[in-house]
Amino acid sequence: MKYISTRGAALALGFEDVVLTGLATDGGLYVPETLPEFSHAEIASWAGLGYRDLAFKVISPFVAGAIPDADLKRIIDSSYDTFRHQAIAPLVQTGHNEWVLELFQGPTLAFKDFALQFLGNLLDYILAKRQQKVVVLGATSGDTGSAAIEGCRRCENVDIFILHPYQRVSEVQRRQMTSVLEPNVHNIALQGNFDDCQNLVKASFSDQSFLPAGRQLVAVNSINWARIMAQIVYYFYAGLALGAPHRPVAFSVPTGNFGDIFAGYLAKRMGLPIDQLVIATNSNDILHRCISSNDHTKKPLQHSLSPSMDIMVSSNFERMLFDLYDRDGAQINSLMNEFKNSGALHLAPAALDKARALFSSYRLSDEETVAVIKDVYENTEYLLDPHTAIGVQAARKTRRDTSTPMICLATAHPAKFPEAVKQAVAEGDPALPHHMRDLLARDERYQVLANDLSSLKSFISSNIRA
């Protein structure tokens, strides 16, 4: 299996190299040269498999011999041993043919654990084999950072630096990152928003001369292909649980950086019969505007009750554009340069038609989000976090066929976002799970930095272990 850049000018890479590379040299994102496809019979034969065994079936074609099967199985097994629920990704019914897929049973209570526990173990394996040390650099709007830190905190060959927007993540999200005190873990509170964090990370990847000799940056944001690959699995897992491939299924996905719903799109192309994919956004609605009115224009970022979706530039949308434009790298390069320079991008009619055939979209305000949390709790006694609430309401507003199971991805535990929950439910003060009960009393360590590339590079270079 080879991986190619969305902008068409970088060398194709094998699996291990693409995991360690992140952004391509031409500024693009790596995608598989060809996508594995599974037959109806093959998918049907997976019914009843546990999550770990199913993950091996879905992931192994992307690895394609780069890692021996026995080693890959061990990496997968150890990645999901840290999850609190035996099902790994349990389903809960919240309405007629409406289901919530609980993706928050991992160690940091967010869906990012599915990919980042796997990526941490994968990096450990590859780096030990290569006798190599790397610097992991990532930006987070709240959940990626803690999941990446949890996945890498025990990696001997990794120094990890995570940027979060200063005072723009919830206290639980911040403390999940800043209370990890291992010497290889460094948290940076950037005086800016998530897009500023993401821009500094991308700029650092484009010029790595500030690193010591022999070191390179590795991405943990969803620009890293391994993250997308790991997320494909739970679409198959949920679909099989509700009757696929013998019946179609639908998914509604709280969407910020587009990585999670892109994994759903790939699952559909690989053979899972997905009838509808819903892009659910908050007031930072560039993706909804793009699908509904061909308006992919940057606007000022708004701070919301669903901060993990407070993103205006969705990096993984470039991977989607690559397919919408028939994998024409030169055209994607031109489009992305136009967006960088003007802050606006408009899809060609043929690309827009394809996007609208693939995706529905919906946008919710904070007030509407709170109302959904309240409504679902009053009718089912099930407590949603604000991101999941957006997914549930988007599904209800755009659903085409009530006979098709609608699966709403629950991306975080409600205890991570008590502000929204308390506004919705008078007695709602969601407790942290037992293993995190002392979180708010733990010591913290982090560095506040200005939104300045040279300051970031200086901090990183001076804190890398020998």
What tokens does 257 get?
Answer: 């950086």
Write the DSSP assignment of 178-211 as a string of letters. Answer: HT---TTEEEEEESS-HHHHHHHHHHHHH--TTS
Q: What value does the mean pLDDT take over residues 13-28? A: 92
CATH 3.40.50.1100 for domain 86-110+225-424, yes or no, is: yes
Nearest to 407 by CA among 386, 388, 424: 388
Q: Give residue-wise pLDDT tens across range 258-307.
A: 999 999 999 999 999 999 999 999 999 999 999 999 999 999 999 999 98
Q: Report the pLDDT averaged over residues 56-65.
A: 95
Residue 102 has pLDDT above 70, yes or no: yes
**112 flagged as catalytic:** yes
Q: Are β-strands 98-102 and 91-95 bridged in parallel, bridged antiparallel, or unpaired? A: antiparallel
Choose between 223 and 158: higher pLDDT. 158
Query: Domain spans of the chain?
Result: 86-110+225-424
Looking at residue 38, what is its pLDDT? 98
**pLDDT at residue 428 tops 70:** no
* pLDDT on residue 144: 87
Instruction: Note the pLDDT of residue 23.
Output: 84
Structural tokens at position 193: 């928003």
Preceding amide of 245 cis, omega within 30: yes
Counting beta carbons within 10 angstroms of the beta carbon of residue 397, is it exposed (0 to 12), middle (13 to 18) or buried (19 or more)?
Answer: middle
Average pLDDT of the chain to the nearest whole number: 95
Alpha carbon distances (Å) from 249 to 134, 225, 402, 408, 445: 41, 25, 10, 11, 44
Supply the pTM of this predicted model: 0.93
Parallel, antiparallel, or unpaired: how do β-strands 447-449 and 185-190 relate? parallel
Closest CA to 168 of 306, 366, 314: 306
Q: Is residue 61 over pLDDT 80? A: yes
Residues 6+ apart with CB under 8 A from 319: 6, 29, 31, 228, 258, 262
Amino acid of residue 195? D
For the chain, what is the largest distance between any 2 Cα atoms, rounded to a whole number of angstroms?
59
Kindly state the helix (H) or strand (E) to which residue 383 belongs, with its residue range: none
Quote the pLDDT of residue 384: 96
User: Is residue 312 predicted with pLDDT exceeding 70?
Assistant: yes
Per-residue confidence at 184, pLDDT binned at 50, 70, 90? Answer: very high
Residue pLDDT, tens place only, 201-253 = 989 998 999 999 999 999 888 889 999 999 999 999 999 999 999 999 999 99
* Residue (of 358, 422, 368, 425) closest to 394 by Cα position: 368
Which of 73, 112, 340, 354 is catalytic? The answer is: 112
**H-run or E-run covering 32:** strand 30-32
341 has pLDDT over 90: yes
